[in-house]
Chains A and B, each alone.
Chain A
Amino acid sequence: MTCTEFNEVVHELLRPEQPASESVRRGLEHALLCDDCAAVLAGQRDLNDQLDDLADADRAVAAPAHLERNLLAALREQHALKPAATPVWRWVAALGLASAAVLVGAILIVHRPADGPAGPAAQPATPRTGSPSMPLEASRVEASAPSAPKDTATVVPETARAAAATPPAGSQAQQAGQFYSMPYAFSGESTDGDSVMRVELPESALASYGLESADGAASDDGTQLVSAEVVVAEDGTVQAIRLSPQQDQNQDQDSGATRF
């Protein structure tokens, strides 16, 4: 072992944890042969003694007693502030209620009546009252409809507009008994306040809605009156129209249908 190697391990030679390893044995042997390294070893031993004295002097050093009391108080405070754990059964009950609510909601959605209760979409509504003798232009009807009394027409259930929007434009939509949605009609809006009104309008007016007479037999001058039902929104705009089955004009007039 060289002195350099000795200096690298000298601090370990005196440690009690070091077993009598080969390096320790060689280091001690080297110290016996080398005066300088023997002095270094003695210096290390002296340093060990001084450090031991320091350790002994501070052996009794410890935290003051009040620290433990303060920390115990902090522990008590910590657990006083901590809310009591929620019992497991409460979690189970809450989970069960939530599951039941979701299940009920799902059932209601799945079994929602597609056709709904019998309403204007399925059955033409008959106005209860009205002003049968009031001749109005179609445009004026739209403008004045909001001010029309609600009791003059049957309130359309929310399925009415859905039914009205369902049929595609074309010949099928023109068949009597099916509503044809107006091109500007709102979609997906609330139908609260919508009304169905039975009207009579000249055949020529059907063309403006893109319709033909249900029987396809248009008169030459287009002045022949046809019976139709319109869904009027709360703002007075016509949302849908359908041609009524051929009815006795006299009966219509008696029932108070509005003539356009």
Chain B
Amino acid sequence: MGPKISGTSDEVMVELLRRGDEEAFSSLYREHQARLYRFAFHMSNSHSIAEETIQETFLTLIRQPERYDPARGNVSAFLFGIARNHVLRALERDRRFTTIDAESDHGSNGANGNAAANEIAAEREDASGTHAQMERRERIEGVRRAVLSLPPAYREVVVLCDLEQRSYADAAVRLECPVGTVRSRLNRARGMLLAKLGTSHGLDDGAGEDASDIATGSPAGRWRRLGAGGRI
């Protein structure tokens, strides 16, 4: 990731880009592309959608730099807004044709297949691969599938706040919603993840939880049971 041109604000960078400064563009691109790409990939589990998202996002910046308004936020938030809209449109477009399981295969079968899945396959073929590594990889893929099973509104807060480690406030700016909404959505989303992953630490096994609970955003049953008769 290339360093940003020293001493230049977002506004100046966009102005330079407007004039066709390639260095300014490269600086902006290298600063933001990885996070945007990861966001799109985590949301879709598709490298092709992630690439498409990056391309559309930066093409918008190239062709319509006047759309960036410094008064409304920094370049990062501006680019994220474009990327997010594109990803959500792509998800909606593909929703009827792609199942969750197919989604997880989508990346690994594509030209830019899921790197982690490929790594798993490689490890399986590699006799020297340890059992622990394989278990870890499989667990990671399980988490990935669980995240992908969340409704988009919950998935994006998990991606932003847990995977990208952004603060609630930062996520709220990017998602254009109040901080309280981010908090509550994250709480629900994590409950759904726990139910999906069947994580048990003294809790009932929630692996067989009704999928409608997840689809509707209802917290996992065991969370409700815990909350019913708590003690001080």
Contacts and interface: CB of A to CB of B under 8 A. Distances in A.
A51 B62 CA distance: 34
B187 A39 contact: no
Given A4-B230, A68-B29, A71-B62, A55 B164 contact: yes
A11 B187 contact: yes
Given A55-B163, A67-B51, A12 B183 contact: yes
A75 B27 CA distance: 14
A63 B163 contact: no
A17 interface: yes
Contact of A74 (B59, B115, B232): B59
Interface string A120-145: 00000000000000000000000000
Interface in A10-69: 10-12, 17, 30, 33-40, 42-44, 46-48, 50-51, 53-55, 57-58, 60-64, 67-68
A63 B197 contact: no
Contact of B202 (A38, A54, A60): A38
Contact of B20 (A5, A54, A75): A75
B26 interface: yes
A7 interface: yes
A1 B19 CA distance: 58
B144 interface: yes
B199 A47 contact: yes
B227 A57 contact: no
A149 to B, nearest CB: 71
B232 A58 contact: no
Contacts of B197: 47, 50
Give the interface centre of A12, A42, A44, A54 by most chain B CB atoms within 10 Å: A54
Contacts, number: 148
A3 B203 contact: no
B116 interface: yes
A7 to B, nearest CB: 5
Contact of A58 (B38, B202, B219): B38
A166 B48 CA distance: 83
Chain B's interface size range is: 35 or more
Nearest to A39: B202
B162 interface: yes
Contact of A40 (B38, B59, B223): B223
Interface string A142-177: 000000000000000000000000000000000000
Contacts of A10: 187
B75 interface: no
Interface string B153-187: 00000100011110110000000000000010011
A67 B54 contact: yes
Given A57-B140, A63-B50, A79-B20, A46 B199 contact: yes
Contact of A70 (B19, B55, B167, B183): B55
A62 B55 CA distance: 13
A223 interface: no
Nearest to A79: B20
A47 B37 contact: no
A173 B29 CA distance: 87
B231 interface: yes
Interface in B36-54: 37-38, 41-42, 50-51, 54
Contacts of A67: 33, 51, 54-55
B34 interface: yes
A150 to B, nearest CB: 65
A8 B187 contact: yes
B130 to A, nearest CB: 16
B200 A68 contact: no
Contacts of A37: 226, 230
Interface string B52-66: 001100110011000
Given A11-B190, A50-B140, 10 more contacts: A39-B203, A43-B201, A47-B197, A47-B199, A50-B139, A50-B143, A57-B137, A60-B115, A63-B37, A79-B19
- Give the 5 A-B residue pairs with the shortest CB-CB distance, closest first: A3-B230, A39-B202, A79-B20, A42-B201, A4-B227
